[in-house]
Homo-oligomer: A and B are copies of this chain.
Amino acid sequence: MKLNRGTKQNHSMKEKILLASIDLMTKNGINNTSLADIAKEVNISKGTLYYHYSSKDDIIFDIADNHLNIISEALFDCLDRINHHFTTEELVIIVLKNISNIERTGRIHMYLLCEAIIGNDALKERIGLKYVEWRTALEKQIMEIISDKSHAKAASFLLISIVDGLVVQAILKAEKVPYGEIAKFLIDYSDKIKKLPL
């Protein structure tokens, strides 16, 4: 009982730190979030923070883990639905729903990518593995839909790219991204392509 509570409290404290970190880093970027900021947000001392996380990289890695899992879950959930009751309308809805919080998720995604690129090799590998996992899953799915199997790989690369690229444009906020039109375009042509004679 006591252990349990102890464990729960630890979890809850580590969770608190994690959530605060995600919050601050999403807002201000990884580099612009100091451990002091995080400690203050959680109302603990920096010492305590170090008791739960042994370094800043540790926190970043945990954030990445959390983030990548969320994306994974969303993706596999999405693929699952396509498998069972695929309708173009549903797809549009799902995509739009996910895109609604793209700014929040997208920002941390970009920060993590940059962090990984700069020199955090462990993070880079972690993210890279996830990308491969996602693309492979997509390829498998596309294989079942598309008639020209030889194009499945290329298509999967393209799909991943499109999502990443749209995130960039969404964050830049230079012009409103027409998610609706884009979804329609994708659906339209994927339909046509499916029916194409090879």
Contact = CB atoms under 8 A, between A and B. Distances in A.
Query: Which bracket fits the contact residues of A?
Result: 35 or more
Contact of A158 (B28, B119, B162, B193): B162
A101 interface: no
A165 interface: yes
B185 A154 contact: yes
Contacts of A162: 158, 161-162, 165
A158 B187 CA distance: 13
A96 interface: no
A191 to B, nearest CB: 11
Contact of A189 (B124, B129, B189): B189
Interface string A117-140: 111000010011101100100000
Contacts of A184: 151, 154
A39 to B, nearest CB: 14
Q: How many copies does the complex hold?
A: 4
Interface of A: 28-29, 31-32, 107, 110-111, 113-114, 116-119, 124, 127-129, 131-132, 135, 150-151, 153-155, 157-158, 160-166, 168-169, 171-175, 177-178, 181-182, 184-186, 188-189, 192-193, 196
Given A110-B110, A155-B185, 19 more contacts: A28-B119, A32-B119, A107-B117, A110-B114, A111-B117, A124-B172, A127-B172, A128-B172, A128-B175, A135-B175, A151-B184, A151-B185, A151-B188, A154-B181, A157-B169, A157-B182, A162-B162, A163-B165, A164-B165
12 contacts: A29-B118, A110-B114, A110-B117, A124-B172, A128-B175, A129-B174, A157-B177, A158-B165, A161-B164, A163-B165, A164-B169, A189-B193
